[in-house]
A and B are shown apart, each in its own frame.
With several copies, the nearest count.
Chain A
Amino acid sequence: MRKRETMSVLSVTQIATDTFEMIAENSRISEQAKPGQFVHIYIPGHTLRRPISIAAVDPSTASVSLVFKAIGEGTKQLSNYQSGMQIDVLGPNGNGFSIDISEDERVLLIGGGVGVPPMYHLAKRLSEETSIDIVSVLGFQTKNAVFYEEEFNRIGETYIVTDDGSYGTHGVVTDILGQFKDRTQYFSCGPLPMLRAVKSKLSHIPGKVSLEERMGCGVGACMACVLPTVDNHYKKICSEGPVFVAEEVVL
């Protein structure tokens, strides 16, 4: 049986323009979360919960990191949370990226904007639990939006791309993917147009993509968050995703 969960806020820090990192305590989530999974957060005054990817966990301190952009009322409210506050969450929800990968794979992680946090979780876990070779490509709108560059650098080769060229390479992530011909697998999370471009550019290697959709229940019951699959069906992002084999879904 799944239980009522609360996370106790340890800190909320602004780490880039409108972007916040929240560290909160919940031992079960910190132990069980897989990269790509999310927590579904109740924010008082709002009918629906907000899905936010788990950006990292540290079971030794029972801590869970979330990185989110304050774009609307819910995330703005969340960015004002103070240490000590209790958050009502469901999770970890969804399937997540499997990190059961053969050691000789050379993986490419591609994250865009708020798609970067789950990529970080994946990178961190891969580096902690395997010795797989990791290259990361991270896209942001502009210099001030960049976050977690250091953290990724610590894990492996990391390339930053910005839309306006104010930092790293000027352009979009797909502009530089040609450089990484040795990669045998990719994982990606970011806005839909980016995922589409990544999928078509990297169609020669297997890939997994993590998707977003507006959610009702967040647990698989309401059919709000579906994604068309190549066999003319739908899959539920909240429960059968958010991570899908790239070639099985229609982006």
Chain B
Amino acid sequence: MNLSVKLPGLNLKNPIMPASGCFGFGKEYSEYYDLSLLGGVMMKAATQFERLGNPTPRVAETSAGMLNAIGLQNPGVQQIIDQEVPRLAKYDTSIIANIAGSSIEEYEFVAASFNQTEDVHALELNISCPNVKQGGIQFGTDPTMAKKVTGVVKKVSNKPVYVKLSPNVHNIVQMAKAVEEAGADGLSMINTLTGMKIHLPSRKPLIANKTGGLSGPAIKPVAIRMIYEVRQQVSIPIIGMGGIFNAEDVLEFLIAGADAVAVGTANFQNPFACVDIINELPVVLERYGFHSIEDVIETRGITV
């Protein structure tokens, strides 16, 4: 079955990509399977300089989900370009760089840096990280700021830009429209919902950063709703994510309005999650009467 999807800058052999931050730069999971099987890889966030991230504990388990507050730990954009991208580029898969920052200037710097390499096929503009004190989520909850940073990055970058939206907003359509107007080539949604867990014995938040981002199946209904809402009013492609654990989840995202998907938390439970989903996908599409991914994308307009 033809699982391929064409998106701006991305010729995906299938619509499945590991989500940013849940797959590092692919090195660890390359010990589990051939990364060429993947539609693409969304790399861990890159910032201008190395970031050490937040104190630990950085993760906590919740019902059908988890909280994380990694705090964008990464070796800095230049080292990613020098060390990580070349290693990933050996695989026959698309590479998407996730870029983050605490200021417009930092986003601009990081986006421009990726112009150095042809091996990165698209940028994912992370304006939605809830786990850093400065930047990140501010850009993702204020449409004016979101528009501004998108515009700056579009201007400086020679790659298609997918803007990653935060679900911690009242009106997701407004955010999507703002970045579409600013020239975004696509959307990536959703990032994590901000949450907290109290550690009863110490009577304190379990995550050292106090709050963390909620991911996993718990948030899937929120992701589906937001993608559905945005799809009714915005025409640029959507990379969907939030709680995808199996191929039926993928189909749910596609019908709701996504054009490709990313798998995050599921990798932690099952390091083979992405390949398992890729393998299941044809069977599941067939079960529900679809003949290809394009078929799902074309028909959904009629049925939803």
Contact = CB atoms under 8 A, between A and B. Distances in A.
Interface of A: 1-2, 4, 42, 46-49, 90, 213-227, 232-234, 239
29 contacts: A1-B31, A4-B272, A46-B61, A47-B66, A47-B265, A47-B268, A49-B269, A90-B271, A214-B56, A214-B59, A216-B268, A218-B268, A219-B28, A219-B31, A221-B23, A221-B28, A222-B21, A222-B59, A222-B68, A223-B70, A223-B73, A224-B58, A225-B56, A225-B58, A226-B56, A226-B58, A227-B56, A234-B73, A239-B28
Nearest to B24: A221
A3 to B, nearest CB: 8
Nearest to B23: A221
Contact of A217 (B52, B268, B272): B268
Contact of B29 (A42, A46, A216, A219): A219
B268 A213 contact: no
Contacts, number: 94
A47 B216 contact: yes
Interface string B46-61: 0000001100111111
Contacts of A239: 28
Given A47-B62, A221-B24, A221-B28, A226 B269 contact: no
B28 A217 contact: yes
Closest 7 pairs between A and B when the two form their complex, measured CB to CB: A221-B24, A224-B59, A221-B28, A214-B57, A220-B28, A223-B73, A219-B28
Interface in B23-38: 23-24, 27-29, 31-33
Name the prevailing secondary structure of the B interface residues. loop
B31 A47 contact: no
B267 interface: yes
Q: How large is the interface on B (under 10, 10 to 19, 20 to 34, 35 or more residues)?
A: 35 or more
A36 B68 CA distance: 26
B65 interface: yes
Name the prevailing secondary structure of the A interface residues. loop
A153 B32 CA distance: 40
Max count, chain A CB within 10 A of own CB: residue among B61, B62, B68 = B61
B58 A223 contact: yes
Given A219-B29, A223-B58, 4 more contacts: A2-B271, A47-B265, A217-B267, A222-B70
